Amino acid sequence: MLSPVIIAGGNGSRLWPLSRQLNPKQFLALADAKLSMLQATLARLQGLEVTGPRLICNEQHRFIAAEQLRQLGMENANILLEPVGRNTAPAIALAALQATADGADPVLLVLAADHLIQDIPAFRVSIQTALPLAEAGKLVTFGIVPSHPETGYGYIEQGDSVGEVGFAVSRFVEKPDLATACDYLASGNYFWNSGMFMFRASRYLEELQRFRPDILAACREALAGGSQDMHFTRVDPAAFAACPEDSVDYAVMEKTSDAVMVPLGAGWSDIGSWSALWDVSDKDEQGNVFKGDVLDQHSRNTYVHADSRLVATVGVEDLIIVETKDAVLVAHKNHVQDVKKIVEQLKTDSRNEHINHREVYRPWGVYDSIDNGHRYQVKRISVKPGAKLSVQMHHHRAEHWIVVSGTAKVTNGDKTYLVTENQSTYIPIGQVHALENPGVIPLELIEVQSGSYLGEDDIVRFEDKYGRA
């Protein structure tokens, strides 16, 4: 039986402004209207004999990851938290060490959380046919049958046949120029490097010990010094921060003599840019993809995503237009790789639009910063039934809460009371307070903050049911 390992790291900066640091592309519904990329990755495992998944994600994404697993009925899935990103070789090492801790030695199926697979039956067939190779001790990578000369992917050159379906890996090659990519396609011996793998946990650890013992030692120390927090596995932050950073390709797959490639023709894409998303989306007769409230006249080959308002296009071609509540991107399809430069500029300018959306998800619900100005900020807050914000205080701001719907249980200093629809309450500066939804419907309220400093770091927590510092 396979043990899925889903790697949900990365920021997806080329898909800004939808993908943000605290809500990156793997948690967004991009190619599927209902499921996020992560949820679609988990859903396509149905029909395969698999254990419960092991998800690896950054510490700052733990609550959104847990919520998306809960929506799929996977409340008890194991979530490994990385305090810092160290690339795929250490991430997989943590999963393999954890999987073998009780003496078991499962076959790991390592998948990225942000890939698109359009032909799911073909994907499952490739997984099933690769399983005997992994059970026999081979380290399997899946090579995507190329459909065109792509310069944005690395390639795998196939060697001699191994078994009925596999090929020895002759070599891994970096992203080529166009002429080289055309040669690769014409030869029929090169496949796109998918970043998906299958191997026994022990075999990966053996090869990592052989080629990168420093990575393995650091991961052992990090896991040994970690702790279990509900279904979150936390590793020792200092030990993992000291771990060398490397990909599984460089650390193991390019060095081992047991690397085997299994071809995969399943409509794969890593959705690495807006043009890639346009490529795989259903289009109208003019080649347009419109999502949200869009009106158009005479445009062609254009992708428009309207998140919160009407977007109108007239006579444009080959454009990417993405509207969110706090940013608008307009880019030519031939230059979408440069979107990451905009993100870098936002960082350089100390702006926040690359970090979060105007809507911010928390374990208790969500808030939307609907207005702000000098010494004030207005938020719309939604608290899930049974959820509670931390017991906290602020040094620099006071807060007014106006309940729009539902019932709020408010702790205000040494008083606890209920606030219902059309009622309000006031929290002075420095007052210890908490907000809870004791009801069975969402609590909706408007919060008006006023004071000399309104940053999110002006929160002193005394108690928190979600384990936040």
Tell me the DSSP string of 211-250: H-HHHHHHHHHHHHT-EEETTEEEPPHHHHHTSPP--HII
Q: How is residue 57 written in tokens? A: 């994600």
* pLDDT, position 165: 85
* Helix H or strand E segment including 133: helix 120-135
What is the Cα–Cα distance from 82 to 61, expressed in whole angstroms?
10
CA–CA separation, 176 vs 151, rounded Å? 5
pLDDT of residue 10: 84
Helices (H), ranges, 32-75: 37-43, 62-71
Residue type at position 402: I
What architecture is domain 359-463?
Sandwich (2.60)
- Summarize pLDDT for 306-324 with one digit per residue, the tens: 999 999 999 999 999 999 9
Q: Which helix (H) or strand (E) holds 58?
A: strand 54-58
Burial of 344 (0-12, 13-18, 19+ CB in 10 A): exposed
Q: pLDDT below 70 — which residues of the chain?
A: none
Strand partners, 300: 317
Domain ranges of the chain: 2-269, 274-344, 359-463
Indicate the fold that domain 2-269 takes in CATH. Answer: Spore Coat Polysaccharide Biosynthesis Protein SpsA; Chain A (3.90.550)
Parallel, antiparallel or unpaired: strands 54-58 and 78-82: parallel
* Cβ-based neighbours of 17, under 8 Å, separated by 6 or more: 322, 324, 326, 327, 328, 329, 353
In the chain, the amino acid numbered 122 is A
pLDDT reported for residue 469: 73
Is pTM beyond 0.95? Reply is no
Coil, strand, or helix at residue 441?
Answer: coil
Q: How far apart are CA 456 and CA 367, in angstroms?
A: 12
Q: Compute the C-alpha angle 266/269/274, nearest 5°.
A: 150
The C-alpha atoms of residue 165 and residue 263 are separated, in whole angstroms, by 8
With helix as H, strand as E and coil as C, how does 273-325 read?
CHHHHHHHCCCCCCCCEEECCEEEECCECCEEEECCCCEEEECCECEEEEECC
Euclidean distance between CA atoms 57 and 28, whole angstroms: 15
